[in-house]
Amino acid sequence: MKKTLSKFKNSAFRSFIRRHSKYAPILFFIGGFIFDTLTLGRIDRTYDLTVLCLHMTSLSITLYLYNLADDGKWKNTFLERYEEYLPLAIQFFFGGLSSAYVIYFSRSVSLSKTASFFIILVLLLIANEFLKKRISNKYLQFGVYYFISFTFFTFMIPVFLKELNTTIFLFSGAASLVCTLVLLIVIYGRSPSTRKEINLAKMIAIILAIYGVINLFYFLKLIPPVPMALDKGIVAHNIVLKNGKYEVSYEPEESFIFWRKHKLDYSYTPAQRVYIFSSIFAPTDLKKSIFHRWRRYNDESKEWVTVEDIGYDITGGRDGGFRGYTYKTNVMPGEWEVQVLTEEEQVLGVIGFHINFNTNQEPLRLKTLRF
């Protein structure tokens, strides 16, 4: 009875997929995205680590099964009845992993130059919808797989080692390179159809090119230093530490500007302090030096000029992020920004604001939040 019921369910599911083959890919795409959006939170949570590791492992196994299916390797085995689902499974895991990276990277990206890498991830996430038509293209398969594998290791290894620096990044890239090449060579050796479709040297060259481009992005500081992320950045009039909480007083934005709490126009009275408060997420026990780079826009030279670098250390693990602030006095009016940077000068975020002199000396309407 149970076998009959199981066969009926499998037959019904197969029939549904075949009837809606045009829409099945986008359903799996949306399913992977929604699953990660609803379930993922902190990259250092056991649940998140388990989900990402299972996604990556399952993707690797599914790629292996899919590529050998063309050679009839699974004929007369229980896997034969599931062969038509393998492309959808690949797409689900591609979508699940890329959406997870978008979720984590979005916490690290402000409107700064690191947004370029974030945009690539978003495009990859959107393009996943269309991979079904070309998923049989093995160059595409392994190219996307390596990109996702690289990102996976750059998240995972710093979390496990509780350290983040250039050496760790290069080690993460090398680990992903080795894993991808091992999977590629195994499939190439066992699959005659794969040997017919791809030139191994060309495929390895493509993977090495992706490896080189990502490393170039890193050294040009176009990749945010995940798994760290700027959680909050506020230009404030006063900051006081009371009972382990920071009381941050700032000018609130107008109610119709719902996407931002604090004003970007700062009313400045000569000799007062201008504070920058930042809250940074970092995985548990990850220690890192952070600094604020205060910069002013020079209207004559049309360039940003660095005024001062002010640093402090952080230790990760707090849900609300590691909090800290810097301040300056005797500032000039005009456009300012504070870059929140790691010691390697990777950008966690940029806090921009405009300083205006408060010539009327009128009391300001301030709001105070505790962090």
Residue 146: what pLDDT? 92
Judgement on whether residues 199 and 272 belong to the same structural domain of the protein: no
Judgement on whether residues 127 and 199 belong to the same structural domain of the protein: yes
Judgement on whether residues 202 and 279 belong to the same structural domain of the protein: no
Q: Specify the pTM.
A: 0.72
Summarize pLDDT for 40-64 with one digit per residue, the tens. 666 667 788 888 899 899 999 999 9
Residue 87: what pLDDT? 82
Exposed e or buried b per residue across 80-102, where buried means at least 16 C-beta atoms within 10 angstroms of its C-beta: eeebebbbbbbbbbbbbbbbbbb
Summarize pLDDT for 200-217 with one digit per residue, the tens. 999 999 999 999 988 998
148: its two tokens: 């996702």
User: Domain for residue 292, yes or no?
Assistant: yes
pLDDT of 6 over the 70 cut: no
Last residue of a domain, one of 219, 243, 260: 219
Distance, CA of 334 to CA of 309 (rounded, Å)? 19
Residue type, 321: G
Identify the residue with better confidence: 16 or 219: 219
Judgement on whether residues 96 and 207 belong to the same structural domain of the protein: yes
Judgement on whether residues 333 and 293 belong to the same structural domain of the protein: yes
Most confident of 22-31, 116-125, 147-156, 201-210: 201-210
Dihedral over alpha carbons 129, 130, 131, 133 (to 10 degrees): 130
Q: Binning pLDDT at 50, 70 and 90, where does residue 8 land?
A: very low
280, 226 contact by CB (below 8 A):
no
Residue 190: what pLDDT? 92
User: Domain for residue 105, yes or no?
Assistant: yes
User: Domain for residue 300, yes or no?
Assistant: yes
333, 316 contact by CB (below 8 A):
no
Query: 262: domain range?
Result: 229-370
Q: Taking every pair of C-alpha atoms in the chain, what is the biggest distance, in angstroms?
A: 85
Judgement on whether residues 347 and 274 belong to the same structural domain of the protein: yes
Judgement on whether residues 138 and 103 belong to the same structural domain of the protein: yes
Q: Binning pLDDT at 50, 70 and 90, where does residue 241 land?
A: confident
258: its two tokens: 């719902």
CATH classification at residue 334: 2.60.40.1930
**Which residues on neighbouring strands pair with residue 15, listed in sequence order?**
none
Q: Is the dihedral of CA 55, 24, 147, 287 positive or negative?
A: negative
Judgement on whether residues 162 and 190 belong to the same structural domain of the protein: yes
Q: What is the 3-state composition of the chain as percent helix, strand, coil, each rounded to the nearest 5?
A: 50, 25, 25
pLDDT of 348 over the 70 cut: yes
pLDDT of 339 over the 60 cut: yes
Exposed e or buried b per residue across 179-195, where buried means at least 16 C-beta atoms within 10 angstroms of its C-beta: bbbebbeebbeebeebe
